[in-house]
Structures are given as structure tokens and as C-alpha cells.
Structure 1
């Protein structure tokens, strides 16, 4: 792993999360991929490493809630989580896990009954 360049805000928290993750994405399949061939079932992407898919580029890990359901928290609630409840995510794993959490929430919620204009 090469040098870690922290984000502009929350640098201390971000660095603590990255250190706990050893600078590697902590996804273990919640994104929909098994990551089985990558060794230990964990995503192989490392911070400042190269992304070998979709045109390459540099991977910039983010610190976000470790539980998929917590990814749906309002930003101010997610920002208040302690570092033990955060994980390092590469953008593709984060986005796929967030999408799966949103789909799960939509299917779990009962369908909203539309308000009727008139009582029948």
C-alpha cells in the first residue's frame, strides 16, 4: 500500500479506519461479489492502488458504516458513528452494497396506500 492521503474533513477518523483495515477494502461480499478468488473472501482493492476494471484509475477508499443497513442513515447520523462501526470501502463495493440496502428497504416496506380524493 502506498501513502495514505486523508480527506479534507475527518482526517483522524479516516486514518484510524484505514489503519484498522490495513488500507484494504473490507467488503466480504455484501456488494454481490464473492471475492472468493481474491483471498480470504475480502475485496482485494487497496487505497491508492490501481483499479483494474472499467478503465483503471486509482482507488480511493472511503470510511463508511460497516453494516449495510447503516449505509442508509442520514449523513449526520452516519458521521456520529464511532470508528468501531465504520469500515473501509472501495467505491464499487460501497455503491453496490448501498444499492442492495436500498432495494432491501423498499421490499421490506409495505406499499403506501394512496390518499383518495373522495370517500367512497
Structure 2
């Protein structure tokens, strides 16, 4: 497994998150896939190839809580490493989209119906 951190990894935070995740995406279905074939956890590992001809997977260290994925970058960057998880780009993006749609639905349900 390639443990090369992304540019700008401050103080080894990315490496600490990857070590805690054993270099594997920690998604357990929040992306919309159940990952049943892989024991309920995404099979993407940092530096591995998921299919022939695809680039190697580069895991992200991002908030573990799906709602945390909607935080502004400066707030997400201030989270402690215990609040972060390893995400493959596909699971990260799908989970973020799902959380955004849920937030929009909750906001529109809370707004009163307008006549005009």
C-alpha cells in the first residue's frame, strides 16, 4: 500500500487517519451502496486499483459524520483526528450528496407554505 500523504498534510494528520483505518475506506453504506460483498465496508484501499485501467485510489481524510462533510473547509480542517475517517472519492462524494439532499429536504419541510 502506498502511504504517501497528499500535499499539505499538516503534522501527519492524514497518516494518523489512514493508520486508524488500516489504509482502507471506512464507508459502511452511507454512500448508498451496502458493500455487502466486502463485509459491509468499502473495499477501496489507498494506492490500490479497483479496476483495470483506472488510476490508483487516493483516500481522503474527512469528517466521519456525513453531516460533517457539509462543514465549511475551515471548520472541517479544525476537527480532531478522532472525528475524521478515511474516504475513497466515490464514497465521499456520494455521502456528501446524500447529506446535502437530506439537509435541503429538512429545510424545505421546515419552511411554511407561502401563498405568493
Fold conserved between structures, TM > 0.5: yes
1:97 and 2:95 aligned = yes
Distance in 1 of aligned mates of 2:112 and 2:3: 46
Using the size of structure 1 for normalisation, the TM-score is 0.86
Cα distance in 1 for residues equivalent to 2:55 and 2:38: 19
TM-score normalised according to structure 2 size: 0.89
After superposition, the Cα gap between the structure-2 partners of 1:14 and 1:112, relative to the gap in structure 1 and judged at 3 Å, is farther
Cα RMSD (Å): 1.8
In 1: Cα distance, 2:55 partner to 2:44 partner: 12
| Mapping for residues 10-89 of structure 1, pairs under 5 Å | 10-11=9-10, 12-39=12-39, 41-52=40-51, 56-89=54-87
For this pair of structures, how many residues does the alignment match?
A: 112
Residues 40-73 of structure 1, C-alpha deviations (whole Å, 9 max, x = no match):
x0000000000228x5221000000000001010
Gaps of 5+ in 2: none
In structure 2, relative to structure 1, the CA distance for the partners of 1:18 and 1:106 (3 Å cut) is same
Q: Could you tell which deviates more after superposition, 55-64 or 17-26?
A: 55-64
